[in-house]
Amino acid sequence: MLYRYTDLGILNGSAISGKGAYLGVAAINNAGQVTGTRIVDGSFHAFITNSSGQMTDLGTLGGDFSTATAINNAGQVTDYSQTTTSPTGHGNAFVTNSSGQMTDLGNDTQGWAINDAGQVTGSVSSVTDGNYNYHAIVINSNGQMTDLGTLGGDRSSGWAINNAGQVTGTAQITDGSDHAFVTDSNGQKTDLGTLGGSQSHGRAINNAGQVAGEAETADGSIHAFVTNSSGQMTDLGTLGDGHYMGVSDINNAGQIVGSFFKAPAAGAFVTNPTASFKYSGAFVTDNGVVKDLNSLVANSAGSTLISANGINDVGQITGTSILNGLIHAFLLTPVASCDANKDGKVNVTDLSIIYTAKNTVNPAYDLDGDGKVTVRDMRICVLKCNNANCQP
């Protein structure tokens, strides 16, 4: 699989001091719309693109800043924004309608993900007896909030939600360590365990109920994992020097994207992203094998991909890259190939897969580049079959 690189623009074109953890691309929907956070006039602002990659500022809930973490197939975005009354550096969760107008989801909330029904998962924070804590929540499209509780400890966060309303995230267990969890569509949690270490995090979930995230192994390194719909983890390993994997997204085909970190590991990413980004790279899984995205780009023109943050159901990937010291948003689109099942040969199996995609928008099978998959694309592939009559 090869990808064509499209640059969506610079995210840190003006200076900002003190903060930086929010800057970056967050997610992509099936129409190719991307959302993320960039610097506008010295403040973080959430943005959305149209399917042509043009950025629009989503504004704020009245304060200085906003950030974006997720987008659904209706073009609704969620995350966090300062309001007119928020203290400095604080805000509330928001959700936008498909026209980009923000609605405030309530005090002390944060939105992390949104499904196609407009359900948001995230967290609500509270201070009890002087202790700051947060709990995973689901907020329905009518504004009703459900607290998902913990796994016996004090805190939890919901990181992703699928169209059945299943949530995955991280919850503290009774011994104080953090474990990945998944819920059923009624919010009942299951502890997904670890890969032999003490901690794990569930970062993404697809409509089949597969969870992708990170888990600690017995030797203390952090590996990417994917579960089956029964919650059993498969270890996807690491890349680079094997220190730390960060998982961002999984699509309905089970492909996973994220970042890998060389030493120094994760903490540096939060405190100084620009400095630590040079220690990281972006990955995608291809039939369950983790691959460095920098090796799969046909035309990156000097850009270094440092994180992959979202993947949609036609395999388009969005993330951040560095070019000449500035952080850029990118879109990767699969380069069209007749070898649809990627087994190295073109035959009737591939033609059947492409035929099934007929009349859809899928760049992976759009051989003539006219924007959709048609019988013309199949004809091109018939001529590329390895054997007579396209036999296997």
Which residues form the interface with Ca ion (CB under 5 A)?
Answer: 339, 341, 343, 345, 350, 366, 368, 370, 377
What is the distance between the alpha carbons of residues 92 and 83, in angstroms, rounded to a whole number? 7
By beta-carbon proximity to Ca ion, the closer residue of 137 and 296 is 296
By beta-carbon proximity to Ca ion, the closer residue of 145 and 335 is 335
- Residue 115 contacts by C-beta under 8 Å, 6 or more apart in sequence? 72, 161, 162, 163, 165
By beta-carbon proximity to Ca ion, the closer residue of 108 and 339 is 339
CB of 300 to Ca ion, least distance (A): 25
CB of 290 to Ca ion, least distance (A): 22
What is the distance between the alpha carbons of residues 255 and 289, in angstroms, rounded to a whole number? 10
By beta-carbon proximity to Ca ion, the closer residue of 90 and 345 is 345
By beta-carbon proximity to Ca ion, the closer residue of 1 and 164 is 1
Pure H helices in the chain: 266-271, 273-277, 348-356, 375-382
Say if residue 43 is exposed, middle or buried (CB neighbours under 10 Å; 0-12, 13-18, 19+): middle
What is the distance between the alpha carbons of residues 365 and 377, in angstroms, rounded to a whole number? 7
CB of 332 to Ca ion, least distance (A): 19
CB of 352 to Ca ion, least distance (A): 10
CB of 348 to Ca ion, least distance (A): 9
Which of 84, 87, 85, 138 minimizes the C-alpha distance to 110?
138
By beta-carbon proximity to Ca ion, the closer residue of 249 and 350 is 350
CB of 362 to Ca ion, least distance (A): 9
CB of 344 to Ca ion, least distance (A): 7
Q: Give Cα separations from 199 to 105, 223, 342 (angstroms).
A: 30, 11, 35
Helix (H) or strand (E) holding 241: none
Beta strands 109-114 and 102-104: pairing type? Answer: unpaired
- Residue 207 contacts by C-beta under 8 Å, 6 or more apart in sequence? 162, 163, 164, 252
Beta strands 244-250 and 233-237: pairing type? Answer: unpaired
Check if the beta carbon of residue 217 is closer than 8 Å to that of residue 197: yes
Check if the beta carbon of residue 373 is closer than 8 Å to that of residue 365: yes
CB of 347 to Ca ion, least distance (A): 6
By beta-carbon proximity to Ca ion, the closer residue of 184 and 368 is 368
The vertex-177 CA angle with 174 and 178, nearest 5°, equals 105
By beta-carbon proximity to Ca ion, the closer residue of 102 and 354 is 354
